[in-house]
Amino acid sequence: MRFATPLSLLLATLLGGCATGGDTMQSSVDALMRDYTGDVPGAAVLVLRDGEPLVRRGYGLADLEAGTPVTPDTNFRLASVSKQFTAAAIVLLAQDGKLSLDDSVRKWLPSLPAVAEPITLRHLLTHSSGLVDYEDLMAPDATGQVHDIDVLHLLEREHRLYFAPGSSYRYSNGAYALLALIVGKASGRDFATFLRERIFQPLGMAHTVAHENGISTVANRAYGHSLVDGKWTRTDQSSTSAVLGDGGIYSSIADLVKWDAALYDDRLLSDASRADAFTLHTPIHDEADVDGYGYGWRIHGDVLWHSGETIGGRNVIVRWPKRHFTVVVLTNRNDPEPYRLALKIAELYLPDSPSQ
């Protein structure tokens, strides 16, 4: 992708400390976010350069019923943006010597059928396992919420794969549900506790949580909404919303500043572990702006990114590590998906680059 920056905005960026330039940039971001402003489901926007927030702002409402505005501390359900945390938990356990990425999934979850024996943890991380989509195995009339352990039980009865493990790519939510269970088995703690003790607390992400109804709470929570017959309607939970490993983490842009910082040094993952996680392991040939998949990250040239979609919410994080630049857009509405919006925000700050 190419970013063309208007000359006036580029000059404002180069002048950095000038308040007028900052105001111009903020106004430009506000203009891009106009559809999220007012008494409508909103968004939180974070723009980071060298770890410093250039934009850290909320738009619209986190809860239409209560009229609660979105702020930088509003916690959104990250949906599949959660996968980078699940992957990090597995890599941490590998660093600890508690498991190997080349372990068979059946070493940790022996109730899976024999067809799963060739599947390794690395295959699960990179969506190259061939596992059948668990959503397709659920009863059509199911109304109760599915949890990670229920995903395992669904897959225990499935004696086929889409392809031989490692031979192709197919995005798999079920793979990340299994990884969450493996985190629990290998660590001796449940997945949510491991994340809290080994990732969220050490990084100071005080309000980020893998949410379990009746066990934990979500502070400053944004509730999902969908546009139905021209009106915004609360649509916050579906039958798969309680699966933690593939999408059950809630976080805010205030906490994601700290997560982004940890992806540049060894405070959490070693240099070798981060390099491995950000390496293209599985090529992808049929998705826009994606060359392949790492561990919880889509990879496109020098860009690392991931989107998340849940009932009533769409999110994205886009990182340019070599430039120490990141854009995060979290929303509590079903549409539109915010990836292109994040790129438009990035265009305001990044100079033109043929590599993008």
Check residue 140 and give its pLDDT.
Answer: 85
**Helix, strand, coil in percent for the chain, rounding step 5:** 35, 20, 45
Check residue 352 and give its pLDDT.
Answer: 61
At 254, give phi and psi (nearest 5°). Answer: -65, -40
261: burial class by Cβ within 10 Å (0-12, 13-18, 19+)?
middle
Rounded Cα distance, 117 and 163, in Å: 13
Quick: pLDDT tens for 161-199. 999 999 999 999 999 999 999 999 999 999 999 999 999
List the one residue out of 30, 11, 29 whose CA is nearest residue 20. Answer: 11
Contact 316, 329 (CB under 8 A): yes
Query: Residue 335: pLDDT above 90?
Result: yes
**Orientation angle between helical segments 173-187 and 83-95, nearest 10 degrees:** 40
- Range with the poorest average pLDDT among 13-17, 53-57, 77-81: 13-17
130 Ramachandran zone, left/alpha/beta (phi>0; psi -120 to 50): left
pLDDT, average across residues 349-354: 66
Rounded Cα distance, 48 and 34, in Å: 21
Query: Residue 2: pLDDT above 70?
Result: no
Q: DSSP readout, 52-117?
A: EEEEEEEESEEETTTTEEP-TT-BEE-GGGGHHHHHHHHHHHHHTTS--TTSBHHHH-TTS-GGGT
First CA to last CA distance, the chain: 4
Distance between alpha carbon 268 and the CA centroid of its chain, in Å? Answer: 17
The DSSP letter of residue 322 is G
Q: Long-range CB contacts (< 8 A, 24+ apart) of 112-117?
A: 112/152, 112/155, 112/156, 113/156, 113/157, 113/158, 113/159, 114/159, 115/158, 115/159, 115/160, 115/161, 116/155, 116/161
Assess whether 80 carries a catalytic annotation: yes
Check residue 166 and give its pLDDT.
Answer: 98
Check residue 23 and give its pLDDT.
Answer: 79
The DSSP letter of residue 164 is -
16 band by pLDDT with thresholds 50, 70 and 90: very low
Check residue 68 and give its pLDDT.
Answer: 98
Q: Catalytic: which of 80, 82, 241, 251?
A: 80
Check residue 4 and give its pLDDT.
Answer: 39
Domains along the sequence of the chain with CATH: 7-347 (3.40.710.10)
5 band by pLDDT with thresholds 50, 70 and 90: very low
Check residue 239 and give its pLDDT.
Answer: 84
| Full-model pTM | 0.92
pLDDT, average across residues 11-24: 45
Check residue 8 and give its pLDDT.
Answer: 34
Quick: pLDDT tens for 137-167. 998 887 789 999 999 999 999 999 999 999 9
Check residue 21 and give its pLDDT.
Answer: 56
Tell me the average pLDDT of the chain.
92
